[in-house]
Structure 1
């Protein structure tokens, strides 16, 4: 049996866990076998509202969270050691967050496309460009919902609930309200001088761009499938990805995502489309650099030479 004392970080009072510090007993295990996850489970038994994903356990005086799968011995803990706990707040699953993020544009775009009188004060005769863009946006976010449900395997089960508002703002506001209001407006209608007699009304132009967009979307799906197959279900295992874009960059899924939105930005010339595209690209470039560094740190010399996100460039 192992005994571990848990106290609040900085001696603060935790409403969901009155009476701290508390000593927990993990029966039938030694420090070589018992894990940090076992400590969290024991704490949740005593304080049911303080479920495991809401807990952040650290060594006393340290800010780095201990991994659930780490044994107490590997974390430097002995019988009777004191750990500090922090309340991460109400949690929500990553899968739920993604579903909420992507459903916004799936609601907003059809509303603005099919109800122009409500948003523009009159009818809009949709141009070929608007029809193509509408279909591309809807298919993109349906694909994202499908990937969330059936493709992605998340390394972290939950995130703080309040993050859902921050994360959704990018898709609901930039990719939803601003993008939809711009591209379905009379400026891009069939009778607009911006469209009539221009390349944006030429089916050959639209088909060419759509072909590139379709390549980007299917390639993005392919890279997500490769990443999924590297991680067995129910694990956080990491491995070096190879093939289909991964031989050139660490994050080709981001590369193809940016390419797809660049196609829509070029097709429309909309400032809103470019703003949404650039904002997303900057975020993905930052993520790619972090993942690239983590890959090199974790796998060392085994990790092949490749760029982070743009082949031969970045």
Structure 2
């Protein structure tokens, strides 16, 4: 098919962009990622800082190597709006940073920093050694966040390459502070570290470890399933299937909760900081799951079997 060249009017959206041309010529059979490259070259900004929307209905123009300008619907003398999203940072970098602290904090709190964190009147002579429950909890927390680091570096594929750079402060602060709170409470020396429970400590620890192991392995399996549905460098997905995907939209979140319930049982039922982390995380993951279910229904249409529950069977 013969290619034609079309002229597009270019308008800044929000804060004015220096060097942004008022008009842009582009081939109708050029892919939309070439449109992004042209705007980036003209404005001297990174492609990742730009968001381009169609002028008529403000539909975002995807940065795609598969979709042409004509297929998207851009025509001669159409207007495109270009927005500078500000300094960006890669999603992978943010994930690695936010999990690095939690992977190190439990060990630091339980061993080298222990004498400095728990200097209070109950400690009269020497600092008691960490008990077996505390050492086990430290191991589970460390394993969990090392697993997350591994997935962030080698498993996850991100539909968007970057996010606003300021998000790294928000994301890392949440995880680092929450895990610090968990570790500080759970690793406290003295009588408060021994938490009485309705059933034997041994049974509670065994149940907790079993839930943790199952949750971690099932969660990782779900992440591999999701990864294999998306081609490298593409945002297009297939319909997921496998363990848990027949029950809920996002079984990886379900298994994440199962894993954290195991951590909670090992840490002791009076460890409110772990419980708060589970509740807050579950609410956020439920919102993400509902959003993903809506996206699946829209994206796959009749090929997708709608799920009644998006995260926890019978609950949400």
Contact 2:104–2:142, Cα closer than 8 Å, also in 1: no
User: Following TM superposition, by how much is the alpha carbon of 1:61 offset from its aligned partner in structure 2, in angstroms?
Assistant: 6.2
- Please state if 1:101 is matched with 2:103: no
Distance in 1, matches of 2:148 and 2:260, equals: 14
Contact 2:8–2:80, Cα closer than 8 Å, also in 1: yes
Distance in 2, matches of 1:250 and 1:238, equals: 14
User: Following TM superposition, by how much is the alpha carbon of 1:107 offset from its aligned partner in structure 2, in angstroms?
Assistant: 2.6
User: Following TM superposition, by how much is the alpha carbon of 1:151 offset from its aligned partner in structure 2, in angstroms?
Assistant: 1.0
- Please state if 1:192 is matched with 2:191: yes
Root-mean-square deviation (CA, aligned residues, Å) is: 2.1
Q: Residues 97-136 of structure 1: CA distance to partner in whole angstroms, max 9, x if unpaired?
A: 1001100112322221112111111624212111111000
Residue 279 to residue 124, structure 1, CA distance change in 2 (3 Å):
farther
- Please state if 1:46 is matched with 2:69: no
Contact 1:195–1:201, Cα closer than 8 Å, also in 2: no
Q: Residues 251-285 of structure 1: CA distance to partner in whole angstroms, max 9, x if unpaired?
A: 00000001111222233220111111111111001
Distance in 1, matches of 2:254 and 2:102, equals: 21
Q: Secondary structure at the match of 1:74?
A: helix
Q: 2:150 aligns with which of 146, 149, 160?
A: 146
User: Following TM superposition, by how much is the alpha carbon of 1:13 offset from its aligned partner in structure 2, in angstroms?
Assistant: 2.4
Q: 1:84 aligns with which of 69, 81, 86?
A: 81
User: Following TM superposition, by how much is the alpha carbon of 1:295 offset from its aligned partner in structure 2, in angstroms?
Assistant: 1.0
Contact 2:21–2:43, Cα closer than 8 Å, also in 1: no
- Length, aligned pairs only: 300
User: Following TM superposition, by how much is the alpha carbon of 1:201 offset from its aligned partner in structure 2, in angstroms?
Assistant: 7.8
What corresponds to 2:30 in structure 1? 34
Residue 61 to residue 223, structure 1, CA distance change in 2 (3 Å):
same
What corresponds to 1:130 in structure 2? 134
Contact 2:99–2:149, Cα closer than 8 Å, also in 1: yes
Contact 1:56–1:86, Cα closer than 8 Å, also in 2: yes
Residue 124 to residue 88, structure 1, CA distance change in 2 (3 Å):
farther
What corresponds to 2:61 in structure 1? 66
Structure-to-structure mapping, 1:228-239, within 5 angstroms: 228-239=227-238
Q: Secondary structure at the match of 1:13?
A: coil
**Structure 1 gaps, min length 5:** none
**Structure 2 gaps, min length 5:** none
